Amino acid sequence: MSGMTAITPTKPEFSGTGTIVNPATGAVAGEVQWTDPADVPNIAAGLRAAQREWELRGAKGRAKAMARFALWLNDHHEEIEDLLIKETGKSAVDAAREVPMLIMILAYYTKTMEKALAPERRPAALPFLAIKKVTVHYRPRPVVGIIAPWNYPVANALMDAIGALAAGCAVLLKPSERTPLTAEVLRRGWRESGAPDVLALAQGAREVSEAVIDNADFVQFTGSSATGAKVAERAARRLTPVSLELGGKDPMIVCEDADIDLAAHAAVWGAMFNAGQTCVSVERVYVHESVYDQFVEAVVRDVKALQVGAGEGFTFGALIDEAQRAVTERHIADAKAKGARVLTGGQRPDGPGSFYPPTVLVDVDHSMACMTEETFGPTLPIMKVRSVQEAIRLANDSPYGLSASVFSGDVGRAKEIALQLDCGAVNINDVISNLMCLSAPMGGWKTSGIGARFGGADGLRKYCRVETVVAPRTNIGAGGNYYHNSLKALARMNRLMTRMALRGPRRLAK
């Protein structure tokens, strides 16, 4: 098996069968069979064997299989959402968004993949090269390893896998050990919809992730910046390319001419959706002093209307576990100790489950962890600023650069502000909407990542190796620079090539 790295058998961190518990209730959500890391090379070998036939189906053939999978997801969405709530403690409102996201991605790529992956004819760079026909081909990498996070076990498990499968790759998916159950259902659906065995799972924690990296031809990782650096380091041992979608501390800027009610609604939803456990959450807000009090009042109003609880009838679920709740508590305690005020929430509730109430913080600044470190929890710190330029400076004062939002009554002005923000995407008068724009890249700057997910044709091509084929249009001129020609003829050719190449630079240099 070309390029494979042997793994020395060790005792797995997770072995045998594991029990997954609902973080909202403590009830058993299900059982999972953990993968022995030593078995991962064999799983990857099976995928490599199956991938060739999948590639040879061509884009049209793969699109048909993926369309059937989209229909299967729609038919089984209630089953998936019920299990999703059990293993994450999400509210029904949050859980209901994941399957539609996958269906939307499938619909987009089944419609566009044939054109995106078609060989491209490239024009001659200069007239004397017109004797060559240049074609660029996109050939899939055999096995793509995807290491998915726990915050969206359905959407994040497959939103990248869909692009890889569309490109003709096989996919080895490693779900989070915190949320492994829904991935099993998704793989079952892939097989039940008639698709070939080019989607496999590896269940476990760090050692299994390392085995996936060691046996993949491309790695897509979504998670924290610290873990992303470790993934990149391990992949570099085999020069395996990676795409990393990492942490964020997304800022929101509210200008003095903004629609305050709209901005408040957006801030609350952007900060509290999925209990704040979203990479592109609104994690800090900078509000012009002239509308600060009005904005804060509107935010508090909206937050108090949220219904906290898992499952049906609630808008705001549990955090994934006690460790994540502890991060939220630490950030709030640090802010309070440094002078911040809590306007809502701020204290863990009585009763079972890893719930934490949505918390609004004011009188905050960049000395506080809630404004500088990724919280990944239900906090909304709001800072008063004297000018938009101050807001821009503070928004960029961060090691993160995933996305941001700007609210202003003047869209043109908002665009000017957006292009001064150091991040991969900016939403104007909205939040998180760039995640739905599948034709555009979603990637982070600074420690928020390398590469991008989606991006139209590039969202498929990133999983491919590029092969250029140069064929003759005519035999005229072939071998003109070979050794068998006279030195006089070679010198004449060099002069001709140089003269033709310099026409453009001479015109531009005037």
Query: Looking at this protein, which amino acid is placed at residue 491?
Result: A
Measured CA to CA, the distance from residue 214 to residue 379 in angstroms comes to 38
CB 233 within 8 A of CB 108: no
Q: What are phi and psi of 107, to 5 degrees?
A: -60, -40
Cα–Cα distances (Å) from 20 to 25, 27, 83, 321, in that order, read 12, 9, 11, 12
Please name the amino acid found at residue 53: E
CA distance 205 to 224: 15
Distance, CA of 427 to CA of 58 (rounded, Å) = 36
What does the block give as tokens for 178?
Answer: 């915190």
C-alpha torsion 469→470→474→479, nearest 10: -140
> Two tokens at 322?
């006690």
Active-site hit among 169, 255, 279, 423: 279
| Contact between residue 216 and residue 145 where contact means Cβ atoms under 8 Å apart | yes
> Quick one: CA dihedral 166, 460, 146, 438, positive or negative?
negative
Residues 6+ away with beta carbon under 8 Å from 242: 218, 219, 220, 221, 231, 232, 235, 450, 451
Taking the C-alpha atoms of residue 186 and residue 168, their distance in angstroms, rounded to an integer, is: 19
- Identify the active-site residue in 81, 245, 283, 373: 245
Residue 257: C-alpha distances to residues 252, 287, 392, 401 (Å): 14, 11, 16, 25
Q: How many angstroms separate the CA atoms of 110 and 66, rounded?
A: 7
Query: Which residues have CB under 8 Å from 288's CB, separation 6+?
Result: 254, 255, 256, 385, 386, 387, 388, 391
Beta bridge partners, 200, equal 172
Q: Which residues contact 1 (CB under 8 A, 6 or more apart)?
A: 41, 44, 45, 48
Q: Is 78 known to be catalytic?
A: no
Q: Is-catalytic flag, 370?
A: no
Would you please indicate which residues are annotated as catalytic (active-site) residues?
245, 279
